[in-house]
């Protein structure tokens, strides 16, 4: 079961992992498939199973974009489905044929309300992931 191997969910009790896994839907994304667009309402969290997905961030009115490859199996992206304002902050495009799992954000948040201790752990890990991505964005912008 891939969900238990995801860093975001590591060391979560197996009964909660089973509930999270039950929410996961398999998604096949041929190369070039846009999974979501920057600025759109965020409804799904994604887990990469195989392949590569590019996350592209651009600012409105600017020609400059930054692309971050997601190519490590079990990587999580689309985390905006779990945090306000629940709007995707990047565009996700399958750079290669990709296999993914998607989890509905509303359903996952309801599960966290049912299991608040585990939900808190996941959200704390998510905050760390967001911080890492923010740092990577700053480094990409400043060339450092």
Residues of the chain with pLDDT below 70 are 1, 60-62, 141, 144
For the entire predicted model, the pTM comes to 0.91
Specify the residue for token string 């041929």.
Answer: 30
Compute and round to an integer the Cα radius of gyration of the chain.
15
Q: Are strands 65-70 and 53-58 parallel, antiparallel or unpaired?
A: antiparallel
Beta bridge partners of 104: 44
pLDDT at position 14 is 95
Residue reference for tokens 């304002």: 85
- pLDDT for residue 133: 75
What pLDDT shows up at residue 132?
A: 82
**pLDDT for residue 142:** 75
What are the domain boundaries of the chain? 3-142
pLDDT at 27: 98
Give the chain's end-to-end CA distance (angstroms, integer): 38
Report whether CATH 2.60.120.10 matches the domain 3-142.
Answer: yes
The residue assigned the tokens 């969910």 is: 9
Quick one: pLDDT at residue 143?
Answer: 74
């Amino acid at each position: 079961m891939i969900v238990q191997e995801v860093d975001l969910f590591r060391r979560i009790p197996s009964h909660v992992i089973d509930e999270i896994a039950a929410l996961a839907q398999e998604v096949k994304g041929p190369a070039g498939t846009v999974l979501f667009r920057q600025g759109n309402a965020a409804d799904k969290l994604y887990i990469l199973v195989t392949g590569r997905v590019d996350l592209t961030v651009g600012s409105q009115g600017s020609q400059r974009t930054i692309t971050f490859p997601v190519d490590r199996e079990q990587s999580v992206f689309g985390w905006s489905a779990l945090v306000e304002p629940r709007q995707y902050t990047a565009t996700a495009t399958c750079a290669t044929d990709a296999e993914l799992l998607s989890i509905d954000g509303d359903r996952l948040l309801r599960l966290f309300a049912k299991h608040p201790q585990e939900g808190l752990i996941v959200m704390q890990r998510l905050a760390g992931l967001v911080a890492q991505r923010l740092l990577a964005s700053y480094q990409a912008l400043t060339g450092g």
